Structure 1
Amino acid sequence: MRAMVFHGPGQKSWDEVPDPIITQPTDAIVRVEAVTICGTDLHILGGDVPEFAPGRILGHEAVGSRLDAAAKLGADVIVDSGRDNPADVIARLTGGLGADVTIEAVGIAETFETAVDLVRPGGHVANIGVHGKPATLHLEKIWIRDRTITTGLVDTYSTPRLIDLVASGRLDPAAMITHRFTMDEFPSAYDTFARVGETGALKVVITAA
């Protein structure tokens, strides 16, 4: 079979690789009909995830302009950080208290520090972004504010609930798809997703045909 293979920071190729085999009683081989490119893949290619060794296969999201997408997905308030100050917007919406929960999802020091600043006393900061560089935690400002900060990637705990939401029609993931490619266009798909500022890519889907 063919797969997108990581060969080191900044190096990837569409290679012929051995077919998977069953090695443990708990293993399963799944026929992949489509796959999306995760932001984590771009961090891997950037050398931000040293645990990911050369030779590993990229593309782990197997399935059988962002502000517009947020509106389509039901966001009540949309903030363009290039035009508006998020702190001012959240202060206005919460009477100066701050957000109950903030999520850092891009892996940039500035956005992590902003997420911590925007949450209320007793609130929760969820960091799911992949950080390749240090970020500062300003304990001199937040030590007395009783905030909880959690980190980690997807642990599948919420997957059954998400499947139920999609199956019931309450959540439509199709609104997140901005670009589609076939498997033989995998390199182009990565290039498009990596240049999100130019392409507006939100979620890129690659299918067998």
Structure 2
Amino acid sequence: MKALVFHGSGQRSWQDVPDPGIEDAGDAVVRVDAVTICGTDLHIMKGDVPEVRPGTVLGHEAVGEVVETGADVRSVRPGDRVLVSCISACGRCRFCRENRFGQCLGGGGWILGHLIDGTQAEYVRVPFADLSVHPLPGSVSSEDAVLLADIFPTGHEVGVLSGRVGPGDTVAVVGAGPVGLATIATARLYTPGRVIAVDTAPSRLEAARAVGADVTVGADEDPEALVADLTGGLGADVVVEAVGVPETFELCTRMVRPGGRVANVGVHGKPVALHLESLWSKDLTITTGLVDTYSIPLLLEMMAAGRLPAVPSLVTHRFTPSQMEEAYDVFSRAADTGALKVVVGAPTHDVVSLPAQERAA
């Protein structure tokens, strides 16, 4: 089969590799019909994730059809159309029993495209299939469903639920990339009073409005002052950090009200200052986390019911598998290409890239 293989920092290729097979009784082999690229894949390509060995097939998000299952798999069978979660869960360890699948001690967690071969391939072996793949309703398209493998549960769980977004809250989301946009979309499910999006790129602020932001502001337009004006000087009830750099985290801690919540979603590669000299008296809650994906079944139900209408607007580029290298190039140059999420699908899907002017229309 063909797969996107990591060969070390800055090196990758779409090449022939052996087909995967069942290695454990809990495995499933899935034929990949749609897959996407994550910002974490770009971190791997830069050499920022040293656990990923050269020769590893990248990717941890996919939709496809089950072609083979191990003897212990009970929840799916060959022929089922499924969503492959970015997180695998053994279901037996302490953390899995607490729905903290990202912290799995039994061989799961984030392993696809990280510690074992991933989803950017024609076929993928998925361990712990009973908890790690999800049957798809016929009404949900593959393109929509693949966004529920990572970015939507990440924004929902690590941003919205950890931040305890509730009715009437003022919510500020700093960073309107894919996960920030998913945070905005899922925050709307909890009837906040207003959602404010902050970003440097006008195109992403436009996307934020499309998925439900009430107010948008450029990072160079004094978002702190805007939040203060909108809240009578109090600050936002919930601020979500969805960038992953020190400056944006510190901005979040300045925009939150006393007694409020800061939910960090961004992946930080550098130390961040925690200014306890000014924060110690504010009674803040600061949360961090890796997605657990326990909310995928709920999000699938909401999508099937039409309660996540913002999903299609997040896919800006579409490619065939033979264009995987081009897809990486477009996604890695998002500032120039306007890419939010790219979807790589089977050739029979008749997928194409959308020019920026058509997306804007």
Normalised by the size of structure 1, how large is the TM-score? 0.92
Shift of the alpha carbon at 1:51?
2.9
Q: Distance in 2 between matches of 1:187 and 1:15?
A: 11
> Residue 31 of structure 2 aligns to a residue in which SS?
coil
- 1:14-163 pair list within 5 angstroms: 14-64=14-64, 65-82=203-220, 84-163=221-300
Partner of 2:122: none
Partner of 2:351: none
Q: Distance in 2 between matches of 1:36 and 1:99?
A: 33
One-letter identity of the residue aligned with 1:42: L
> Residue 112 of structure 1 aligns to a residue in which SS?
helix
Q: Distance in 2 between matches of 1:156 and 1:51?
A: 22
Distance 1:206 1:142, change over 3 A: same
> Residue 136 of structure 1 aligns to a residue in which SS?
coil
> Residue 30 of structure 1 aligns to a residue in which SS?
strand
- 1:4-15 pair list within 5 angstroms: 4-15=4-15
| Structure 2, unaligned runs of 5 or more | 65-202, 348-361
Normalised by the size of structure 2, how large is the TM-score? 0.55
One-letter identity of the residue aligned with 2:204: R
Shift of the alpha carbon at 1:192?
0.7
One-letter identity of the residue aligned with 2:42: L
Do the aligned partners of 1:102 and 1:124 also contact (CA within 8 Å) in 2? yes
Shift of the alpha carbon at 1:75?
1.3
Shift of the alpha carbon at 1:52?
2.6
Shift of the alpha carbon at 1:191?
0.9
One-letter identity of the residue aligned with 1:203: K
Matched, 1:174 2:316: no
Shift of the alpha carbon at 1:34?
0.6
Q: Distance in 2 between matches of 1:147 and 1:44?
A: 33
Distance 1:180 1:50, change over 3 A: same
Do the aligned partners of 1:49 and 1:132 also contact (CA within 8 Å) in 2? no
Count of aligned positions: 208
> Residue 69 of structure 1 aligns to a residue in which SS?
helix
| Structure 1, unaligned runs of 5 or more | none
Q: Distance in 2 between matches of 1:143 and 1:95?
A: 22
> Residue 8 of structure 1 aligns to a residue in which SS?
coil
Q: Distance in 1 between matches of 2:251 and 2:53?
A: 32
Q: Distance in 2 between matches of 1:116 and 1:47?
A: 30
Distance 1:109 1:10, change over 3 A: farther
Do the aligned partners of 1:4 and 1:15 also contact (CA within 8 Å) in 2? yes
Distance 1:205 1:117, change over 3 A: same
Distance 1:76 1:32, change over 3 A: same
Q: Which one is further off, 60-69 or 87-96?
A: 60-69
Identity %: 62
Distance 1:48 1:98, change over 3 A: farther
List per-residue Cα deviations over 1:129-185 (Å, max 9, x = no partner).
222222222122212222222222221022122111211111131110111111111
Shift of the alpha carbon at 1:39?
1.2
Partner of 1:165: 302
RMSD: 1.6
Q: Which one is further off, 183-192 or 142-151?
A: 142-151
Higher RCO (CA-CA < 8 Å; seq separation 6+): 1
Q: Distance in 2 between matches of 1:127 and 1:51?
A: 23
